[in-house]
Amino acid sequence: MTYGYIRNYEDRVRRAVNTPDANGNYALWQGGMEPNIPVGSTAGVAASMKKAKAGAVRRDHHFILGATNTNIPNYKTAFLAIMRQFNSKGIIEINGHLMYRISDAAYAEADKWLDKTGLSTEIDTTIKTMLSRSTADINAALDHAATRLLELWQMEASLKTYGVAVADVMAFHIDEGTELPMTIEEWHAFVENSSFVEAREQARSMGFSIIWNCDIARTPEGYYQVRGGIPYAIAKSLAVAPFADIIWMETKTADLPDAKIFADAIHAVYPGKMLAYNLSPSFNWDSTGMSEDKMRHRPQRRRYARPGPLATQAAAYRFTFQDPTEDNQRQAKGMLGLKLYDDIQTEVGQIIVARVNAERVKGLVKTDSDDLKKLIAKG
């Protein structure tokens, strides 16, 4: 049994509002389905994800990072080799690498590189100093190793955008006294407004066939690595601005200067474009337990700024901030206080994992479920 892809529901809404009534009147449709949660058959979900990724690559190529030194195991294999090392060194809970088919030879090459960079030894030390075998500690250990890998790999691969990679070679030749048909500034401007193929042609015409490979930098999930940040957010937002009523910026931590750079950049191209900013879908600031006074003081303390205590979902012209993690932490602690959770842990600094007290929950819902049983019996 398969219900249709969410598009089917959209179509039903569309038909329901676009059918005229007896007097020829139509109805309104507000809002859209959540676009980032595809629902449907396996094939349907896979197809929509593929489309979304292709769109992202097209739009983002200025920001995609590639290796300029390719004499290195690819990032994905190195990452999986780390998981494999944890596993073979006794941390059998880590087994994600088993989902991938990587040859022994590729693993051997990756291990050699991990030995050479000292990461294998670091993993040994990390395992020895682990406080416990809890999920949290295991994840923290893996997270630490993954962070170190990213640092070492990016350094050795000399990871950069294509534009920067060519500019670096240009700078080298200019230092040597070579005359080039364009300046580095002109090159950067050219890259920003051209496709990857055009940029590569231009570089070749200047005699630069550089080594730049973005595929070996892809993550185990297949994502390209990008130079994230405000410029990236601005580029994507400018691309959609002509089609959008409002541009909405959302960040994990609030930073007014970032928001200002973003707003100024959008307004430079689209003056007066409506902007919104939020950090959390929570509506009610006070329900987070913060007093008016505390909220008023928080901005200075954290160099946040917010115009007032209202947290609303959409706020044209205005910028509001909230730290979602604190909110969730407080909720989790509340549940602990009510004994609904036995234990809570924060993993990777972001995910709250709670052990639910099943008996307590059962006890609490008992009255309701008894009533419900009676109700059903009556019917």
Partner 1 sequence: MLQIRDDLADKYSSVYTPEVLTTLSFMAQYNAEQKRLINERTQRRLARIKSRTPITFLDPEVEIKDTGIKVQDARDGKFVGAVIPHDLQRQWLQGTGPAAKPNSPVKANLRNVAYALLSGADGWMFDGEDALGQVTTMSLDNQVSLKLAIARDPLFLDVAEQVAREMNNWARDFFGRAIVINWRAQLDFTTKIFRARGLHLDDRHIRLNGESLSASIVDMTLYVVNNHKTLLEAGSSIVLYLPKIQTAEEAGFWNRMMTALEGHLGLDEGTIKVYVLVEQLEQTFQLMEIRAALGLHFVGFNTGRWRLYQQRLRCQLLGPGFHQSQH
Q: By CB under 8 A, name the binding residues for partner 1.
A: 1-3, 9-10, 12-13, 15-17, 19-23, 25-34, 36-42, 45, 49, 245-246, 256, 259-260, 263, 267, 274, 283-287, 292, 305, 307-319, 372, 375-376, 379
**Dihedral pair phi/psi, residue 11, rounded to 5°:** -60, -35
- Residue 66's H or E segment, with its range, is strand 65-66
Judged on CB neighbours under 10 Å (0-12, 13-18, 19+), 292 is exposed
Least distance (Å) between residue 334 CB and partner 1: 13
Residue whose CB is less far from partner 1, 144 or 260: 260
Q: Is the dihedral of CA 264, 266, 271, 277 positive or negative?
A: negative
Residue whose CB is less far from partner 1, 204 or 366: 366
Least distance (Å) between residue 310 CB and partner 1: 4
Residue whose CB is less far from partner 1, 117 or 278: 278
Residue whose CB is less far from partner 1, 9 or 172: 9
Residue whose CB is less far from partner 1, 197 or 376: 376
Least distance (Å) between residue 298 CB and partner 1: 15
Residue 9 CB neighbour total at 10 angstroms: 13
- Residue 345's H or E segment, with its range, is strand 341-347
Residue whose CB is less far from partner 1, 164 or 274: 274
Least distance (Å) between residue 193 CB and partner 1: 28
Residue 34, sorted as left (phi over 0), alpha (psi -120 to 50) or beta, turns out to be: beta
52-59 long-range contacts, CB within 8 A, separation 24+ = 53/222, 53/223, 57/224, 59/235, 59/236, 59/239
Residue 347, sorted as left (phi over 0), alpha (psi -120 to 50) or beta, turns out to be: beta
Least distance (Å) between residue 91 CB and partner 1: 24
Least distance (Å) between residue 195 CB and partner 1: 27
